[in-house]
Amino acid sequence: MVSIGGVSLKTPRVVGVIIEGRVNAAAKKAVDAGADFLELRADTFKNISLEKIEKALNSLRAFKKPVILTIRSKKEGGKCLISEKKRASLFDALMPLADAVDIELGSSAILKNVVNSAKGHKKKVIVSYHNFKTTPGEKKLLEIAAGCHASGADIVKVATFARGPEDLRLLARFLTDFNDLTVIAMGAHGAGSRVFFPLLGSVLTYGSVTGPSAPGQMPVAELTRELRRYGLG
C-alpha cells in the first residue's frame, strides 16, 4: 500500500490545497478542518522564487502533515507561466522539503528528471493528467494511466471535465480498474465526485482552503464533513 510521509493511502485522504496568500493561516485552517495532507500550489505565487517557495514549504512542515509540492504547468491549469527549465530546477532544489511531488504526464520535457529526482530523494510521485474541456473516452483514459505508470508514478491522478452523468459513469468504471488512482470529475456535474469517487477507491480528494484551484472544488471542511457522513472520515 502506498504511503506519503508515513501516512497510508489505505483509506481516502483529504488534501488541503494551499495557494499564495497567508500560508500559515491557510494551513492551520486546513488542518483544523481535517485535511490529511497539505499541497502547496507554488504556481499560484505572483513572484516565484526558490526562497519564497522554500519559506512556504518550511511553514507547512511545521503542521506535521505530509506535504505535496505542485508547480502546475500553465497548459494544465497553472496560474503562472513558468519555463520548464525553471520548474525542473525548482522541483529538484525543493525536493528535500516535500513528501511527494505532482508532475504532469504532459510535461514530457522534464517528467523523467523530476521523477528521477523524487526517487533519488525517496519521495513519492503523483503523475497527473488534467483536461478542463472534456472527458476522454475509455481507450484514451487507459492509455493515460499506462503512460503515468510507465513514467514511474506511485499514484496516478486524472482530473477531467464532466459534461454530464455519462462522463461520471465512464470515470467511475475507469477508477475501479486500478488501485492507485486519484480520479476527479471537474465542473458542476462533477462536484459530487470529490466525495463519491473516494467511495469507489480514489485515494486522494482535494479541497480548497482560501479559494478553489479547480472547477467544482469544495472547501476542505465541507469535504471532510461529507466523507464522514458516508463513513470515510
The residue whose grid cell reads 469544495 is 218
What angle separates helix 84-94 from helix 50-61, to the nearest 10 degrees?
40
**Could you give the 3-state DSSP secondary structure of residue 224?**
helix
Choose the catalytic residue: 29, 65, 157, 189.
157
- Any catalytic annotation for residue 75? no
Exposure letters 26-58 (e unless 16+ CB within 10 A, then b): bbebbbebbbbbbbbbbbbbeebeeeebeebbe
The alpha helices in the chain, defined as continuous H runs, are 23-32, 50-61, 84-94, 111-120, 138-150, 165-175, 193-199, 220-229
Choose the catalytic residue: 29, 65, 123, 130.
130
- Any catalytic annotation for residue 130? yes
The residue whose grid cell reads 492509455 is 143
**Could you give the 3-state DSSP secondary structure of residue 122?**
coil
Which residues have a catalytic role annotated?
Answer: 130, 157
